[in-house]
């Protein structure tokens, strides 16, 4: 069974940091681009970041550039999102997903919740 | 950045009805469009990619069409399990923008 499982979410104060992880099983994630998508409470989906197979290309939505870093460890079949200088507007459920170039996100994790609040 | 605009924002229809959701891109995106269904509290599920290609396992009552800037998702005969919110996405150009969503309710 192909599965993605996120972890690392929680409550953090504004200005704090958090590192999300996404563990892949049943698939060799190193063969695919990987994506982070988030969804604020009661809102729509927002693409956050993409990383290519070797981790040499990374793309971010403008609102997180300079604060978030996407990375991967292909040996561990894992994806990460280091989130720094967190703001209230970063409060969301964060999903990792497998990306097929030009063909959408076909495997998703269950999501992990990040709450930024004092 | 490319903007993706969906309409309507919500639709209420009866079982058996034909439902159509529109998605418009602010620039030509060819056929690089994906559609997703999301149910409350769950992750999205890919329905269609490349504007009109049905993802494996998705019922054939779902179909997609369009190219360039104007796209459509059609549910040919609405079923009770089709409730949820539907999103389109530019699948090719960073940022990979999603549309605002269309909530489908069963009457």
Residue range B59-99, pLDDT digits in tens? 999 999 999 999 999 999 999 999 999 999 999 899 999 99
Q: Nearest C-alpha of chain B: how many angstroms from A74?
A: 23
Query: Are A102 and B96 in contact (CB < 8 Å)?
Result: no
Interface of B with A (CB under 8 A): 1, 32, 34, 36, 38, 43-46, 48-50, 53, 55, 85, 87, 89, 91-92, 94-101
pLDDT tens digits for range A24-63: 988 777 789 999 999 999 999 999 999 999 999 999 999 9
Strands A92-99 and A105-108: antiparallel
Q: What per-residue confidence (pLDDT) applies to A77?
A: 93
Whether pLDDT at A74 is above 80: yes
Query: Are B101 and A61 in contact (CB < 8 Å)?
Result: no
Residue located via tokens 């959408």:
A104
Q: What per-residue confidence (pLDDT) applies to A27?
A: 77
Greater model confidence, A80 or A102: A80
Interface of A with B (CB under 8 A): 35, 37, 44-47, 50, 59-62, 95, 100-106, 108-111
Cα A100–Cα B47–Cα A76 angle in degrees, nearest 5:
35
Whether pLDDT at B41 is above 90: yes
Whether pLDDT at B37 is above 90: yes
Chain mean pLDDT for chain B: 97
Q: Find the closest chain B residue to A105 by CA distance.
A: B46
Largest distance between two CA atoms of chain B: 38
Chain mean pLDDT for chain A: 95
- Rounded Cα gap, residues B105 and B98, in angstroms: 20
Q: What per-residue confidence (pLDDT) applies to A30?
A: 78
- Give B-chain residues touching A47 at CB under 8 angstroms: 89, 95-98
Q: Nearest C-alpha of chain B: how many angstroms from A108?
A: 7
- Give B-chain residues touching A102 at CB under 8 angstroms: 32, 49-50, 91-92
């Amino acid at each position: 069974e192909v599965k993605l499982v996120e972890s690392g979410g929680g409550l953090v104060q504004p200005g704090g940091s958090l590192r999300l992880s996404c563990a892949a099983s049943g698939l060799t994630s190193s063969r695919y681009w990987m994506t982070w998508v988030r969804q604020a409470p009661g809102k729509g989906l927002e693409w956050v970041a993409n990383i290519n197979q070797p981790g040499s290309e990374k793309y971010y939505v403008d609102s997180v550039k300079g604060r978030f870093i996407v990375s991967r460890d292909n040996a561990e079949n894992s994806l990460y999102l280091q989130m720094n200088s967190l703001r209230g507007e970063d409060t969301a459920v964060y999903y990792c997903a497998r990306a097929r170039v030009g063909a959408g996100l076909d495997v998703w994790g269950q999501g992990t919740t990040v709450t930024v609040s004092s | 950045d490319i903007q993706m605009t969906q309409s309507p924002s919500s639709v209420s229809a009866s079982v058996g009805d034909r439902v159509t959701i529109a998605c418009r891109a602010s620039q030509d995106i060819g056929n690089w469009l994906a559609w997703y269904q999301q149910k409350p509290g769950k992750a999205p599920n890919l329905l269609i990619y490349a504007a009109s290609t049905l993802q494996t396992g998705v019922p054939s009552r779902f179909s997609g069409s369009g190219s360039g800037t104007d796209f459509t998702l059609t549910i040919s005969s609405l079923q009770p399990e089709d409730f949820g919110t539907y999103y389109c996405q530019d699948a090719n150009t960073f940022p990979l923008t999603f549309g605002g969503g269309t909530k489908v309710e069963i009457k």
